């Protein structure tokens, strides 16, 4: 992706880093002891089985469409960054604002879709509870019973973490 053209003060950068670290610490604390392994070839069968039970074809299609739109927006931001590098200060500021807006939009779309997928799975989890808990147990090295007794917020983070895995996105792209 393109480099950010937006110049932040040291104080803004430090505040941003502190906020990011605090968020990561909260998530890390919640997920302490729950590290997911990389997805493997045999996992595809479990994923497809759960996807079929939940009928999430539309959700996957939406994900792929938004990914394509985000790629186009990312390319536009890269083009604007090149133009901004050759522009006067007034034009550079306007282009920088446009780039920042595009980057925020891409980030919001990604977060929204991962959240939507996790929410959908959790709201339909009774249909796949056994399979999902078994799969999360396999991914984390825990037992199904341990996963079933996981605090709710941690469980939701595990589901969200699963849907955020880059290799899962790649598999969906290959299967579409």
pLDDT score, position 24: 64
Q: Which two tokens stand for residue 159?
A: 């589901």
Q: Is 155 exposed, middle or buried (0-12, 13-18, 19+ CB in 10 A)?
A: buried
Residue 20 maps to a domain: no
Which tens digits make up the pLDDT trace of 51-96?
Answer: 777 776 677 666 666 666 666 776 676 776 667 666 666 666 676 6
Residue 47 maps to a domain: yes
137 or 1, greater pLDDT: 137
Residue 2 maps to a domain: no
Residue 101 maps to a domain: yes
Residue 167 maps to a domain: yes
* HEC profile of 136-152: HHHHHCCCHHHHHCCCH
The percentage of residues in the chain with a pLDDT greater than 70, rounded to a whole number, is: 55
Residue 34 maps to a domain: no
- CA 126 – CA 138 distance, rounded (Å): 19
Residue 49 maps to a domain: yes
- For 35-64, b where at least 16 C-beta lie within 10 A, e where not — what string? ebeebeeebeebbeebbeebebeebbeebe
- CA 83 – CA 174 distance, rounded (Å): 34
Residue length of the chain: 176
Number of folded domains in the chain? Answer: 1
Q: Which two tokens stand for residue 98?
A: 């446009």
Which tens digits make up the pLDDT trace of 111-147?
Answer: 666 677 777 777 776 778 888 899 999 999 999 999 9
Residue 90 belongs to domain spanning:
41-175
Which tens digits make up the pLDDT trace of 165-174?
Answer: 888 777 766 7
- CA 71 – CA 57 distance, rounded (Å): 21
Least Cα distance to 110 among 53, 55, 70, 78 occurs for: 70
């Amino acid at each position: 992706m393109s480099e950010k053209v937006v110049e932040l003060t040291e104080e803004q950068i430090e505040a941003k880093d502190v906020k990011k670290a605090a968020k990561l610490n909260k998530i890390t604390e919640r997920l302490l002891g729950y590290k997911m392994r990389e997805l493997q070839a045999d996992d595809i069968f479990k994923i497809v089985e759960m996807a079929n039970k939940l009928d999430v074809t539309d959700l996957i299609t939406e994900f792929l469409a938004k990914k394509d739109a985000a790629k186009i927006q990312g390319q536009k931001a890269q083009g604007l960054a090149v133009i901004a590098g050759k522009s006067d200060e007034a034009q550079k500021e306007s282009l920088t604002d446009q780039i920042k807006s595009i980057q925020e939009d891409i980030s919001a779309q990604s977060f929204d879709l991962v959240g939507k997928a996790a929410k959908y799975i959790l709201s339909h989890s009774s249909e796949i509870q056994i399979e999902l808990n078994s799969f999360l147990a396999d991914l984390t090295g825990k037992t199904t019973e341990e996963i079933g007794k996981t605090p709710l917020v941690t469980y939701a983070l595990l589901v969200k973490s699963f849907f955020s895995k880059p290799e899962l996105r790649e598999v969906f792209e290959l299967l579409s």
